Amino acid sequence: MASQLSPIINAQDLIKTDSSSEIILIDARAGINAEENYKTQHLKGARYIDLNKDLASVEKDPANGGRHPLPSFSKFSEVLSKLGILPSSHVIIYDDKNGSNAAARFWWMLKAIGHENVQVLNGGLQEAVKSGYPVSSEIEVFETAEKYLISEWKLGLADIDEVEKARTNNQNIVIDVRDKNRFDGLTEPLDLIAGHIPGAVNVPFSENLDENGLFKSSEILAEKYASILKDKPAENIIVHCGSGVTACHTLLAMDYAGIKIPKLYVGSWSEWSRNDREIATKKQD
C-alpha cells in the first residue's frame, strides 16, 4: 500500500492527518532568512530542514559538483535521525515556493534511498494556511530516531561526463527546467555565465503548475511529458536546473504523472558552466 502513495498531498488531506502522530511534517523553506521565517511562523508541528546544511554538502568551488552537491550517506543519515525520521515514517514536506524551493529536493533524496512514505504538500505553506491548517511560532519538541541506514542512491544520477555524451545522442534527452530567460542566456541571477547546455531542451518547472500555483492534474502532466519524452526509457533522460534543486520539482511532477523517475544531474548548470564545457545561448541555437 505504501508504494501506491501519491507523491503529492493536498492541503485538505493534510488537515485530515493533523491528529496523526505517525506523520512527520517538514518545513523545507530555503533562501535568505528561511530559518528565521520558520521560527516566526510555521505549520504546527513542522520540523525545519536546511537546504545548504542538511540537503547538500556545499563546496567552496561549485565547479566540483555544483552549488548543491548531495551530502554523504553518513551526513544524510544523521540529518534523518536528528529529525526523528525512521524508514517507516510518513513524511510530508512543504516549502513556500510550490515545492520548488527544497521540498521536492528532500522528497527526491528520500525516494532515492528507498523511503516510500513521502509526499510534498501541493501549494506549500500558503495553501495550507489558506485551507485553515494551524500555524505556530513555538519551538517544536520531538524525539530523535535511531540511525537510518543508507547504502546507495537508488534513483538514477548522471555526472557531467554522461551529460556531455547524452547531449549529442538522439537516443537521449537532456532537460533543463530553468525559466526560458536563463536558458536563453538573457539573464543569470545565480551563476557566473548565462546560457545552457547545447542540445538540452527547455521545459520550465513552472509549467508543472496551474494558474493557482498548484500541480496540474496527473493526467495533464502525463500527456505533457509523453509528448516530450517520446517513449524514451528513464535511464536515457537526464533532468537538470541550476544546482540540482528545482530539477527535482520536475522529477516529482513526472512521478505524479506515473512516469518512471529519470536521472538527475545534480551539478547542473552551476557545475557545467564552470568547467570550460561548450555553452549555448538563444543567438547560437
CA dist., res. 7 & res. 263, Å (int) = 17
Number of neighbouring beta carbons within 10 Å of residue 280: 17
CA dist., res. 204 & res. 81, Å (int) = 34
Contacts for 257 with CB less than 8 Å, ≥ 6 apart: 218, 219, 221, 222, 224, 225
Half-sphere exposure of 202 toward its Cβ, with a 13 Å CA cutoff? 20
Please answer whether residues 28 and 95 qualify as being in contact, where contact means their C-beta atoms are separated by less than 8 angstroms: yes
Residue of 241, 247, 248, 261 marked active site = 241
CA dihedral 194, 247, 75, 14 (to 10 degrees): 140
- If you search the block for the grid coordinates 540529518, which residue do you land on? 79
CA dist., res. 146 & res. 191, Å (int) = 39
b (16+ CB within 10 A) / e for 32-46: eebeebbeeebbebb
* Helices assigned H by DSSP within the chain: 11-16, 34-40, 51-54, 73-82, 103-112, 124-130, 160-166, 180-183, 218-229, 247-256, 268-272
Instruction: Examine the residue annotation and report whether 241 is marked as an active-site residue of this protein.
Output: yes
Active centre residues (catalytic): 241
